[in-house]
Structure 1
Amino acid sequence: MATGTSDFLPRLIRHKPARKYTLEEYLRKEGSSVHKHEYINGEIIKMPNARYNHNLIAMNVAVEMTNVIEEAEKNYQVLGSDQKIYLPNLDESVYADTLAICEKPLFWDDDDLLLINPILVVEVLSKSTQRYDRTSKFDKYKTLESFKEYVMIRQNECYAEVWFRERPGLWHETIVTNIEGKLPLQSLGIEVSMKRIYKNVNFVV
């Protein structure tokens, strides 16, 4: 039997490139979606479901940061995981687990959706996202002029890693593994308790 071009069409269809969306299309879809998605390189990428420890740690961090900031009477605001962060240099939008801004938020759009001035970002690491959080996502945040500090927290052991930008291109690393220790957040001029970050968390190996 002769082999025609049509015999190869199913194979070609399986390798069809992903559709590219505009930022406006992404925002419309995200506004009506029950799941959260990031907007990366024109594609809409569904975020993985977060487990209990992940959600609890993210909430603990946000609460502890807010309490310490208020006690110190500092002018910072803390936001949770529903806030979109827009990266103008990349035309991409991502979510963080927790973030802080200095004084007042700045937005790319007129609907207060796309924040562009986080000073500090916190990511709770999981098996499915830790490689992305440590590499590509960190590099994305670095494109923001306001971004000065990156915190990565493991959810199944007492471990927090902080990267602070001392000057452009120079980042200083601090690792805290003592549950009785304090996590230094130099961009905010505060320290937060590791014990409070891991409050009610049961480590699972």
Structure 2
Amino acid sequence: MAALQKPISGDYTIEEYLALEAASDRRHEFWYGEIFALSGGTRAHARIGTNVVGECYRQLLDKEYRPISENGAVKNTLAPRPDWPLFVYPDATVVCDEPVYESIKGIDVLVNPTLVVEVISPTSAVRDIGDKFTIYTSNPAIRHYLLIESETVRVTHWFRNDSGT
């Protein structure tokens, strides 16, 4: 799944990152000028992510919601900053009705997730709880942000209420 590894190196531009991402068969995230290759993570991380997608699929089979695995990028709807990514890769997402994608430099990015799930590992915790929380909660389409820890038994569920907070 999507555990962050050590950065490839620093001082990349967003354009350099997008060129690498478009040409690569691996996924990467761009943070503060550094490009991080996303690894397969631990077996526990992978098992949790697979179980989440499978359970979402089972629970939503006859509904208008669709689970999407961790291979899909989600758009960062915040104002562009040179130190933040244009999109991120959650471990799982769920969309209501039809998924809407936007092409960013040739990469299809999901715009309208309803639920975003991150499986937290020691190497991804700071971003999942910090910057990704800010990115995900700024997107009004996202109603639920689920954080599942891979090394302890803990789940945190953030949700947007009817007033939007």
Report the AA paired with residue 88 of structure 2.
V
Partner of 2:6: none
- Which residue, 36, 60, 67 being the options, matches 1:45? 36
Among 62, 78, 92, which residue is 2:53 paired with?
A: 62
- C-alpha deviation, 1:129, in angstroms: 1.1
Q: Is the 8 A contact 1:87 1:140 kept in 2?
A: yes
Query: Matches of 2:103 and 2:33 in 1, distance apart?
Result: 18
For the 8 Å contact 2:120–2:148, the answer to whether it is kept is: yes
**Regions of 4+ moved over 4 Å:** none
SS at 2:114 equivalent: strand
The one-character-per-residue Cα deviations of 1:53-110 (angstroms, maximum 9, x if unpaired) are: 101110011001100111xx21001011110111133441100000101101111228
Counterpart of 2:66 in structure 1 is 77
Contact 1:21 1:43 in 2 (8 A): no
Deviation of 1:28 after TM superposition, in Å, equals 3.3
Q: Identity rate of aligned residues, in percent? A: 27
Structure 2 residue 150 is the aligned partner of structure 1 residue 159 = no
Q: Choose the corresponding residue for 1:105, options 99, 106, 118.
A: 99
Letter in 2 for 1:86: K
Residues 77, 135 of structure 2: 8 Å contact kept: no
From 115, 121, 133, the counterpart of 1:138:
133
Give the superposed CA RMSD.
2.2
CA distance in structure 2 between the partners assigned to 1:78 and 1:53 by the alignment: 20
Aligned pair partner of 2:116 in 117, 121, 130: 121
Cα distance in 2 for partners of 1:88, 1:43 equals 20
SS in 2 for 1:54: helix
> More relative contact order in 1 or in 2 (CA 8 Å, sep 6+)?
2
**In 1, are the aligned partners of 2:101 and 2:111 still within 8 Å (CA)?**
yes
SS across alignment from 1:122: strand
Q: 5+ unaligned residues in a row in structure 2: which ranges?
A: 1-9, 81-85
Contact 1:21 1:44 survives alignment (8 Å): no
Count of residue pairs brought into register by the alignment: 150
- Residues 98 and 123 of structure 1 are in contact (CA less than 8 Å); yes or no, is this contact kept in structure 2? yes
Runs of 5+ unmatched residues, structure 1: 1-16, 171-205
Tell me the equivalent position of 1:3. Answer: none
Task: State the match for 1:19 in structure 2.
Answer: 12
